Amino acid sequence: MKKKELLPSLKMGMRSSVNVSSEILAALLETPALHALLDSFSDAIILCDGESRVRFLNLAAERINRISRQEAIGLADSELFQRSALSFDDFQQAIGRGGYSALTRARDGRMFLTSTQAVPTGAYEKPYTLLLQRDYDGREAPRRSTAAPAPSDANGLGDPQDNALHMSPQLSSIADTGVRAFRRRARLLLLGEPGVGKTAIARHIHRAAGWGDRPFIHVNCGRIPESLFESEMFGYERGAFTGALQSGKRGYIEAASGGTLFLDEIGEIPLHVQAKLLKFLEDGSIQSVGSPLSKNVQVQVIAATNKDLRHLVSTGEFRADLYYRLAVLPVEIPPLREHRDDLPFLIDILLTRINRDRVPPLRLAIGCRQHLLSYDYPGNIRELVNIFERLAVLADDEAQEQHLPAELLESRPRQQAAAIAPSDQDDSTTEALTGPVGEPLKTQVQRHERQLILRAIHLCGSKRKAAQHLGIDIGTLIRKLQRD
């Protein structure tokens, strides 16, 4: 059998009904003959065990991902994805939605089609996972699983906060300021309530500055246990402590080398670690746990928090010198209720994203849109995204008021009164609300139709969108407006 036919045969064998125990698989992976066979393939091969830890990768996988076999063995697959020279964001999202293949991009622009499949093992054992990566030339499209997708797949939202950034005038203006500072190597501190889009703005700044092919390492400082913070951030050497990986581990800072380190929830960093982080910010050097040597790492730092760091400085919970190192340019991101003019843009872009893969397309009833435009959104953009995900699941073709969350509907009297106040409407709408008593029914119906059409245009922002939400064509809408 020719070598190019071996890989399909290997895959077919792994998909067969014959299960091999994990012990036998582990033993096979230790044999030099199997290593030599798999190393001869031009496609990258990565095998993970039932605990999602890397057990083997061939030479092609080492070359493509720019990580050595010694360094990769024992890592969780998520850690491998983070350390790889490829961007696995789309692949991980596809897997989370029930798919099994997606494109991954290298820093030099090369594209690879990455696919995954289960390797059956013995009864009551978790299956191994085989990852295959091959050069993508555009002729082979990523395949999608026939399994029922998760709601987020059907909705097509992806990362709506990130996408909405390009359509929201105020957030885009804030991000543009950040991009200018980022290009001048100034450190940014993003400030704002939870859910305002700090992570989306950080990613936008990284990409818009021309760094899209470089690493972007997002570290949520609030989710790292205090006892592990130093080793996770700075890495550790082999045998540094009990339970350490035999090969040691790169920290988040080193993983971001040449790219961007996004320190989210910076106010959660333990006080005793802040001094070491300050040293890195001052001279660019880090020292892994258990290592007597320092190394220099070049990264661009963006920090974010929803806390008042100045107050934490005054109470001694945050170092003043660290604050001034991080906050070269503090960027305040306002809550959604303070830039309500962006709401129509955000609503439209989220609706467009949902309808990208949805049949039938989702429409918003006038009352539903009115509630969405009137609500204060204490959870900010994140809450708005959550509401649209809900509407996409509950509504068939038109989202009605009853599909909205209870907390949004509870504010109805105040918001509805504001929405129908005479000062909020033009003269023609006000005229439509009044008329002589005893008019013929046909005239009253026409007046009422005109009132509804004008209100729809006011809420939707254009005649075409109003016609769509009223369920009539644009020509009919214009004729009804023009008749006396």
Largest CA distance in the chain: 97
Nearest-angstrom CA–CA distance, 402 and 404: 5
Contact 301, 329 (CB under 8 A): no
50: number of CA atoms within 13 Å, CB side?
A: 14
Torsion angle (degrees, nearest 10) of CA 380, 381, 384, 385 = -140
- The reported pTM is 0.54
DSSP letter assigned to residue 290? T
DSSP letter assigned to residue 246? T
Nearest-angstrom CA–CA distance, 352 and 42: 41
- Whose structure tokens read 């005793």? 272
Amino acid 99: pLDDT: 66
Secondary structure (H, E, C), 349-379:
HHHHHHHCCCCCCCEECHHHHHHHHHCCCCC
CA distance to 15, 23, 120, 283, per residue, from 123 (Å): 15, 12, 9, 54
Nearest-angstrom CA–CA distance, 341 and 30: 62
Amino acid 338: pLDDT: 86
Contact 252, 261 (CB under 8 A): yes
In order along its 484 residues, the chain shows pLDDT tens digits of 444 444 544 444 444 434 556 677 777 888 887 888 888 888 899 998 888 889 899 888 888 888 888 888 888 888 888 888 888 877 877 776 666 778 887 766 677 888 888 777 665 667 788 899 988 754 444 443 333 333 333 333 444 444 445 446 677 778 888 888 998 889 999 999 998 889 888 988 888 888 877 889 999 988 888 888 888 888 887 656 655 565 677 888 888 888 999 999 999 888 888 888 898 898 888 888 877 788 888 899 999 999 999 999 999 999 999 999 999 999 999 898 888 878 887 888 788 888 877 888 899 999 899 899 989 899 998 899 899 989 988 998 899 999 999 888 876 434 343 443 433 444 444 444 445 555 677 777 777 788 788 777 777 767 777 777 777 877 777 778 776 5
Nearest-angstrom CA–CA distance, 118 and 113: 17
Mention every residue, 6+ apart, whose C-beta is less than 8 A from residue 418.
374, 424
